[in-house]
Chain A
């Protein structure tokens, strides 16, 4: 008898109701100031500074609660931005450089959002895996050790032989085994690597991916030697830039084929709660890759500014000039270059421009200031 009084009501039918709607609009209009007072209450929660945190000014109470224990995770998203793994360099008889990398597969519970643990599969204990960086023409030797309980591999987006492809039958190794991937670093650009054991979906969304950046060799690109020089890690020209490694990823914590958390570098809202410090006098370069599973695309939008974009990073002139939004399908990547030179200091937001991703964690801030001490 009670169906009329219960759920499953079409909301249109509500319009006929008298009692319920009286005064409701008055209550709703008062909910905005109520939020402000709540925001101040929130300051008293542990782990939040006494002053109003920077992210609140932009997003108020729409935010994950608490802080992630970076120490327990063994990686810090802010440190990860500039943590390049350049390997151990030695000289080959022909005068070329050889770079050796060591990567170990490890199963590990990581905290991907405050209080939420995810049973990840990691490279070197971190998600995303180490951001590998080499120079065009280097001989690369990457040793993979599988300490996990499933077969795994390293599949590089680059140019190499079939034997080194990291697919089943060519470099997918069982637990306890070891494999050495050997090839030349080419073409230069912003690339990635990931596990190519099957099923691919599970291995990707469990955390097995990372950046693989090959800097251009200025000697091979004389017409754009200065551009190449600025991208070459270790050069004085490169030191002028503020470079960052960013991986757009997401986590399906209840394994229903839809992501519960979206982020840039794993931790939901990490750069919203701890904005990235930017010196406004130096240009910014972001190596960005999208590895989000289950959703067809991801995107990067910069507030109050525009950037030049180098799709896949394989050119020395921009493939898109003066844009404030780019889209990437899974495994698509590129280089973003911009500057805040003409801007006044302050907090500049960046996020995916799929609102759902933003509101589920993929949102951050650049804290632009005059000079960084």
Chain B
């Protein structure tokens, strides 16, 4: 800030001449490129080793035509898929587009393979250098085709895992209305606890998806950058008019949980497409139970205000609705890097809400940072994380 007047004065005088100086580094770069291409001074590093190859399988579709797989090349040079094995047998395949696959490009490989329902198949891509890239279809089930029926059943699933639990949690609002400062602190701390659980869980999942994406996306770096960016953006938006409280804070909590649910929806939809998901009623109910605390968490900052009924509906849809959209999008177009990004955005949003709810706890008790260490707060934190952890046991496989 201090330098601004000085800088602006100088730049007003000398913009053209300063830009002129940029020509020198640009020219040096151009010369270096030309020399590298013309003289090939790095020839001595060419030791005759074959190029480094990498192939990532981003989508798998199983239908009455057989298998279709979307592959992304990530080698040091364009790659050629010469042959394709399924379960240790060569199968004729068609590639679209044909020919070599440039670094970063994708191609569809389709095989007329008579897959067997409910069993495991291994697809093995053999490149022209003889390198192989294996992809396992853990459980072969038909990929969901886009029909109104399938969209509808996916919406119902999304409502069960996303919207219903938030709604049930928010219904506790009237019962919690008369909470004293102790219970209030407990509930807010419980919100922080469950959010902390979600933060860790979301980051771990985002990193797992990042691992499965093509190496050129630098998955883990990408997840960290996106999460931090999402956190900073939401923090700055949220604090434009001071620290958020009441309905505003509840909205941010709902947004964070909603972004998280969107990422989870993407992953669920993708699992359907990849033919890997088998859903039991018990699992869906476990998931519903697991997410009920999210509704209580959203309700906590509202206890001292008098929100309208529409606000509750809006908060429910904001927090739970994205699960439905996530499942739809995930089952239609899917690549692991998109799920990783969506989950990372959710993680950043959750981190923002953790900061804001903690700030509210500190402010409300006039104890400073010590407010976070009172028995009620501490109990709330423990209760929130413990509840999430225990109910997660119902759905972890």
CB within 8 Å of B: which residues of A?
1-9, 11, 13-21, 23-25, 27-28, 30-32, 34-35, 38-39, 41-42, 45, 61-66, 113-118, 251, 253-254, 256, 260, 268-269, 356, 359-361
Contacts and interface: CB of A to CB of B under 8 A. Distances in A.
B267 interface: yes
A254 B118 contact: no
B280 A16 contact: yes
Contacts of B201: 1
Contacts of A17: 277-280
A359 B395 CA distance: 41
Interface in B66-80: 66, 80
Nearest to B205: A2
B115 A31 contact: yes
Given A5-B277, A20-B277, A359 B89 contact: yes
A360 B85 contact: yes
Interface of B: 63-66, 80, 82-85, 88-94, 111-112, 114-120, 126-132, 136, 138-139, 141-142, 153, 157, 201, 205, 264, 267-268, 271-272, 274, 276-283, 287, 290, 392, 395-397
9 contacts: A4-B287, A4-B396, A9-B278, A11-B120, A31-B114, A34-B112, A61-B112, A63-B91, A65-B92
B65 A38 contact: yes
Contacts of B112: 34-35, 38-39, 61
Contacts of B153: 19
Contact of B264 (A1, A27, A45, A359): A1
A27 to B, nearest CB: 5
B88 A30 contact: no
A115 B83 CA distance: 8
A361 B278 contact: no
Contacts of A256: 132
Given A254-B131, A260-B130, A9 B138 contact: yes
A359 B88 contact: yes
B92 A61 contact: yes
A60 to B, nearest CB: 8
A216 B172 CA distance: 98
Given A30-B64, A31-B115, A34-B64, A360 B276 contact: no
A38 B66 contact: yes
B395 A13 contact: no
A24 B144 CA distance: 10
A356 B87 CA distance: 9
B283 A4 contact: yes
Given A24-B117, A31-B66, A253-B132, A42 B267 contact: no
A14 B114 CA distance: 20
A96 B29 CA distance: 76
A253 B83 CA distance: 12
B255 to A, nearest CB: 19
A5 B396 CA distance: 9
Contacts of A361: 90
A61 to B, nearest CB: 4
Given A1-B287, A19-B153, A260-B126, A11 B118 contact: yes
Given A4-B395, A4-B397, A63-B90, A31 B64 contact: yes
What 8 A-B pairs come out closest when comparing CB atoms? A253-B130, A115-B82, A359-B89, A17-B278, A14-B278, A38-B112, A16-B280, A5-B271
A225 to B, nearest CB: 47
A8 B117 CA distance: 16
Given A24-B142, A61-B92, A62-B89, A7 B276 contact: yes
Contact of B65 (A4, A20, A34): A34
A38 B80 CA distance: 22
Nearest to A361: B90
Residue with the greatest number of chain A CB neighbours at <10 A, chosen from B80, B129, B136: B129
Given A38-B112, A39-B112, 13 more contacts: A1-B395, A2-B268, A7-B136, A13-B278, A17-B278, A20-B278, A21-B118, A28-B115, A28-B116, A62-B89, A62-B91, A116-B128, A117-B129
A20 B141 contact: yes
Contacts of B88: 356, 359-360
A9 B139 contact: yes
